[in-house]
Chain A
Amino acid sequence: MAETTTAIAEPTRRDFLFIATGAAAAVGGAALVWPFIQSMTPDAATIAAGAPVEVDLTPIAEGQIVKVFWRGKLIFVRHRTPAEIKAAEDVNVASLRDPQPDAARVKPGHAQWLIVYGNCTHLGCVPLGQQGEYKGWFCPCHGSVFDTSGRVRGGPAPINLPIPPYTFASDTKIVIGQGATA
């Protein structure tokens, strides 16, 4: 193989074939990873089961919190009393950890209905309703406190309880998940 020492100066056809074959194998291997990773993403049945759900509001009495599930996630549907609405609105928004006025957390004209995700934004525990300093929610796991608008007012939770996508189909019916991305 003495003559191959000259190949250092000038690439040969064999060098090209080595690099091209290696590159093709690397790209092919990487491409094969894709379907395996994709197989771990939510499958069609899971997505289909995550279709929007309707919630009839008529049986939910004033002051009551009802738990519903959408996409396996817990959602609180809370029929707020006038006092709770007033408490949520009479807050200096600038003083909040995650500043949001109450009006931005309910649908216009439906201030008595608060719909929020039911897992604490800290580590996902379920907060207890009508408890804590602000009578909104209190998380028993790590002590996060939420007000009657579901906004964080104390404890380790970084943000407010998020609002799921929903619309009012009528005054007594909401559709949770309407307009959500798959």
Chain B
Amino acid sequence: MSQHSSTYVPKSAFGKWFESRLPIASLIHSSFIAYPVPRNINYFWTFGAILSFMLASQILTGVFLAMYYTPHASLAFQSVEHIMRDVNFGWLIRYMHANGASMFFVAVYIHIFRGIYYGSYKAPREILWILGVIIYGLMMATAFMGYVLPWGQMSFWGATVITNILAAIPVIGDTIQSLLWGGYSVGNPTLNRFFSIHYLLPFMIAGVVVLHVWALHVPGQNNPTGVPIKSDKDWVPFTPFATIKDLFATAVFMLVFAWFIFYIPNYMGHADNYVPANPSVTPAHIVPEWYFLPFYAILRAIPDKLGGVIAMFASIAVLAFLPWLDTSKVRSTSYRPLYKQFFWILVADTLLLGWLGAKPPEGWYVIVSQIATAYYFIHFLVILPLLGFIERPLPLPNSILESVLGQKGGAGLPSGANAEPQSKG
């Protein structure tokens, strides 16, 4: 893609003085004002902005919660209730934080599936994609540790189950478990270090997000056709077009977020977590938060403890290899009639796994979990590599402009000269 470099020129004397010492104004100008955005991107491309907003919201509310929260096994539960009942607007800030975690995952799942649908992981965006997988991993670690902090029954037993899972890792499993526990079982040292790491990880996420955006701005954004920007008619400047669209989408997303906060603030939670942690009694049914359910189903689908752990981690790690597992040269699923069907089967399979993860592991639930788990891996390891060779993709538009205006509008351009070289058709 041709880079449209910044045309920023400071106007004031102070602007010039500052620019020659720290050129941050021109960096912002070239990245978020003059930056070329494909003119055809749809609302699925606003989730990057929504996710940035959610990260900022989680950090802000988290910092305020930490002013009142006490990371001690005998005080943590009380301090959370103190936030809910005594701290001015503590209920609001805590509900924003707890539901914010869920909304963060809603947004990231849409963002990930958008990337999968439009082939946003394909060359030259592999590093961008892998950074995204790393962010997702950090998000899961952060969310898990955050859920432990209220020190309710689900917090305690969730921590117990997950740390017992890690003990299944050969050779180093026991050491990892001991380092996480800081004792002989889940206890006060565990709570303390989880709080510390829970506070650290969001800033690591923010750091990787900077790399993610940097890696995005080198090749530029993908778009619904997958055809790169070829001429000045294919793009619009980030501001005002993307800025306003992102702000509007974020506002709509905030409406949904607010609905959860004010009307069903505990819908995503578990009633058991309003019971203080008790190491001698297990809740009748231990279930992780909804965003972990597909992976929990995969964990339990494998009858072997270590095998289940390997399958669970592999189900996430396989995403990082997507750029090389997908052998098709065509980015956008819109032009891949066969893959489009398998994409929606994968979405259904993931939702099915999520539903199974909330069910008790008995009877036919186990069988279906095993089939769904097998299909998940077959999709990535067998179907995806083979489809690239079997499938005959639909003809790609010659340019983004042509896809927006149709053949008529694109007639003014020498269509053959700009033909997408990756097209197999």
Contacts and interface: CB of A to CB of B under 8 A. Distances in A.
Interface of A: 37, 40-43, 46, 50, 67, 69, 71-74, 118-119, 122-126, 140-143, 156, 158
Given A50-B183, A126-B281, A140-B282, 18 more contacts: A41-B178, A42-B183, A46-B182, A46-B183, A67-B280, A69-B279, A72-B184, A72-B185, A72-B187, A73-B184, A74-B279, A123-B160, A126-B280, A141-B282, A143-B360, A143-B361, A143-B362, A156-B361
Nearest to A46: B183
A118 B165 CA distance: 17
B280 A74 contact: yes
Contacts of A126: 280-282
Contact of B164 (A46, A123, A143): A123
A124 B161 contact: yes
A50 B184 CA distance: 8
Nearest to A158: B305
B274 to A, nearest CB: 19
Nearest to A72: B185
Please provide the 5 A-B residue pairs with the shortest distance between their CB atoms, ordered closest to farther. Answer: A71-B184, A72-B185, A125-B282, A126-B282, A124-B164
Nearest to A39: B182
A158 B184 CA distance: 21
Nearest to A127: B282
A123 B306 CA distance: 12
26 contacts: A41-B179, A41-B182, A42-B189, A43-B182, A46-B184, A46-B189, A50-B184, A71-B184, A72-B184, A72-B186, A72-B187, A72-B279, A74-B279, A122-B305, A123-B160, A123-B161, A123-B286, A124-B157, A124-B160, A125-B161, A140-B284, A141-B282, A141-B285, A143-B361, A156-B305, A158-B305
Interface in B55-87: none
Interface in B140-174: 157, 160-161, 164-165
A69 B281 CA distance: 13
A71 B186 CA distance: 10
B193 interface: yes
Contacts of B285: 140-141
Contacts of B362: 143
A147 B421 CA distance: 68
Contact of A73 (B185, B286, B300, B305): B185
Contacts of A72: 183-187, 279
A123 B165 contact: yes
A77 to B, nearest CB: 13
Nearest to B362: A143
B303 interface: yes
A37 B300 CA distance: 31
Contacts of A158: 305
A125 B179 CA distance: 21
Nearest to A128: B282
A141 B183 CA distance: 24
Contact of A118 (B280, B284, B300): B280
Nearest to B190: A72
A75 B360 CA distance: 26
A141 B153 CA distance: 14
Nearest to A67: B280
Interface in B302-338: 303, 305
A156 B303 contact: yes
A153 B186 CA distance: 27
A71 B282 contact: no
Nearest to A68: B280
Nearest to A119: B160
A143 B366 CA distance: 12
Contacts of B305: 122, 156, 158
Contacts of B282: 125-126, 140-141
B247 to A, nearest CB: 43
A71 B185 contact: yes
Contacts of A73: 184-185
A159 to B, nearest CB: 10
Contact of B182 (A40, A118, A124): A40
A43 to B, nearest CB: 7
B194 to A, nearest CB: 12
Interface in B258-302: 279-282, 284-286, 300
A134 to B, nearest CB: 18
Contact of A71 (B161, B179, B183, B284): B183
Contacts of B280: 67, 69, 74, 118, 126
Contacts of A123: 160-161, 164-165, 286
B147 to A, nearest CB: 16
A12 to B, nearest CB: 38
Contacts of A41: 178-179, 182
Contacts of B157: 124-125
A119 B183 CA distance: 16
Contact of B286 (A42, A118, A141): A141
A126 B277 CA distance: 13
B178 A42 contact: yes
A43 B286 contact: no
B193 A40 contact: yes
A74 to B, nearest CB: 6
